[in-house]
Amino acid sequence: MIKRLYKYTSFWLLLMLLLYLLFGFFYAPKLIEKHLNVQIQQHLEMQAEWSSLKFNPITFTLELSDLQLTDRKHQTWYSSQKTAINFDPFNLLWGQWQFSNLILKQPNITLSTDESGQVIIPALPEFSVASDPEESIDLIINNIELNQGLMNLQAGNIKKDFELNIQNISIKQNKFSLTDENSYFDLTMTTENGESVTLNGHYNHAQQHLQSKINLNNWQASTLNQALPNELMVNNQSGLIQAEGRIDWPLQHKPLLNFNHIQIDNLGSLWHNSIQLIGLSANMEQLEINTETKEIKMDRFHSGQASWQLNWPLALPDASNTPSSTENQSTVKPWSVSIKQIDITNWPIELIDREVAATLPINIESLAITSFNTQSEPVLLHSIIQVTQHGTITINSELGLSPLYTEGKLNLEMIHLPDLASWITAQSGMVITKGSLSGQQNFKYHPDNFEINGHVTVIDGFIQNQAGQEVVDFGQLMIGETSINSTNHTIIFDQITLDHANGRIIEDNHKAIDPQSLGSSEAINQDNTIADHWTIKIGTIKSLNTPNNADN
């Protein structure tokens, strides 16, 4: 006798499977939709909207189309074309939501902070540190993947159109919890340009506190253009940046960044269309950026490769066109910068003076700056600069930036004067076709005064006026005392010795240079003063081995 169908175990199993599938495909999405909305609103104080929700009871995959998240201030900060979640239902038996994969397709994420670094979009809820674990979700997400996304970053000092085209974000963690405990994670984000940032650390959701290692790999300097304020007018054209360090960020406050090492390779940049930087390679060690106290500290900056081009005069922006008023600037605490040691070698610089249509190549052979700071503490500077082919300038000085001042010594050795002829002619009317300058000068600069004094020697000099007439030709010119003083607008040359001189230097009864002998009515007026009311005074002149036809 044939058994009835309902007496077979397989029948009941098949019926149960059918009911399960009907429940999973048709009823479960409504149940999940209701529960998901409640949880998002209860724990995140946010609203979620989507066009469709699908649940596959076989693979335990939940798929949301056109998902949008709006924070408690009604600001939409997240949207995506598709969100897929795969979870393990068996962990629900002990109250744990465990997701093996969270896949976000074409998400658009907006993050915004104020000038202090506090996150304002999305508006995060305030959590009590002593949250009751019984009322919190036990949530674990093993892996998060983001594909073809766009991240819009906005901050008080960052341009509003700073966008990152994200190729992929992968997050791996052992547990994400909404209770007061650390959730450890490993996050890697890759942009379409092959740039990547890696975060490895922990996040406490109840305290809204993130602490993590951070690594930047192959970040293009041109990407930073979007993050720089418009008023800086900096255009990075090439270069890669690598960095490793740590970030400590209470999301309700301001982040602290500590970088052990930052490496810059082949940076090319243009500033105000006046200064061009080509091929900068540099290293920064132990850089700390404290946005709470507005302090930037660095142990060492070193660069051994860079080329510069300076166009003079600099095309600086009009200060009256800056958006912030003087009143607002006075209420904002300025950033302070301190660098223990700056070491620079081999920086060739091409100075292009558009006013006199001349070019001067120089090379910073070495530059050492100790205790650089924007406060009132003194800064020590030592530099050796190559000017022309064989000439060098050595500088040893102390300077301060608040207020601005500098005092030091200048050593000049074999400066080829014809390479400076355009500037000398523009300022004095003299045309120098031969000569090398050496000497030592002490200098002081303060906002209300500057002084220069010392001695100089010129060998094998030949000077003409602008009409091409010889003024003087000498084997050696020694000036034992030179002085420039801005307080009394006086330039003094004293203890002058001419050796093997030939030519005409005409003086009047007051020992002032006769401008007619120089042939310039622009640089020096008829009253023997410089056009800006500076007076040149000539002291004693001694001639050695001078032919009888020389006029002294």
How does pLDDT run across 304-342, given as a tens digit for each residue? 999 999 998 877 655 445 444 444 445 667 888 999 999
pLDDT average, residue stretch 470-486: 91
Q: What is the pLDDT of residues 482-505, one digit of tens each?
A: 999 998 889 999 999 989 888 765
Question: What does the mean pLDDT of the chain come to?
Answer: 81
pLDDT average, residue stretch 191-220: 90
- How big is the chain, counted in residues? 552
* Cβ partners under 8 Å of residue 176, min gap 6: 139, 140, 141, 183, 185, 205
Write down the domain spans for the chain: 400-507+533-551
DSSP letter at 378 equals -
Q: What is the pLDDT of residues 42-87, one digit of tens each?
A: 777 888 889 988 888 887 888 889 999 998 888 888 899 998 888 7
Nearest CA to 71 among 113, 119, 123? Answer: 123
* ∠ Cα 208 213 214 (to 5°): 100
**What is the percent of the chain with per-residue pLDDT over 70, rounded to a whole number?**
78
- Band the pLDDT of 279: cuts 50, 70, 90: very high
Spell out the alpha helix ranges (H) of 23-170.
28-44
* Cβ partners under 8 Å of residue 169, min gap 6: 104, 144, 145, 146, 149, 187, 188, 189, 190
C-alpha–C-alpha distance, residues 412 and 160, integer Å: 50
Q: What is the pLDDT of residues 366-405, one digit of tens each?
A: 999 999 998 888 999 999 999 977 899 999 999 988 888 9
C-alpha–C-alpha distance, residues 496 and 393, integer Å: 23
Query: Contact at 8 Å (CB) between 200 and 186?
Result: yes
Q: Which two tokens stand for residue 355?
A: 């006013």
- Band the pLDDT of 197: cuts 50, 70, 90: very high
What pLDDT is attached to residue 291? 82
What pLDDT is attached to residue 326? 44
| Secondary element (H or E) of residue 180 | none
Q: CA of 534: how far to CAs of 353, 523, 524, 528, 537, in Å? A: 23, 10, 9, 9, 10
The pTM score is 0.75
Query: Contact at 8 Å (CB) between 463 and 469?
Result: no
Q: What is the pLDDT of residues 142-180, one digit of tens each?
A: 667 777 777 776 665 555 556 677 777 777 766 666 677
- Band the pLDDT of 112: cuts 50, 70, 90: confident
What pLDDT is attached to residue 212? 96
Q: Which two tokens stand for residue 332?
A: 């904002």
- Band the pLDDT of 11: cuts 50, 70, 90: low
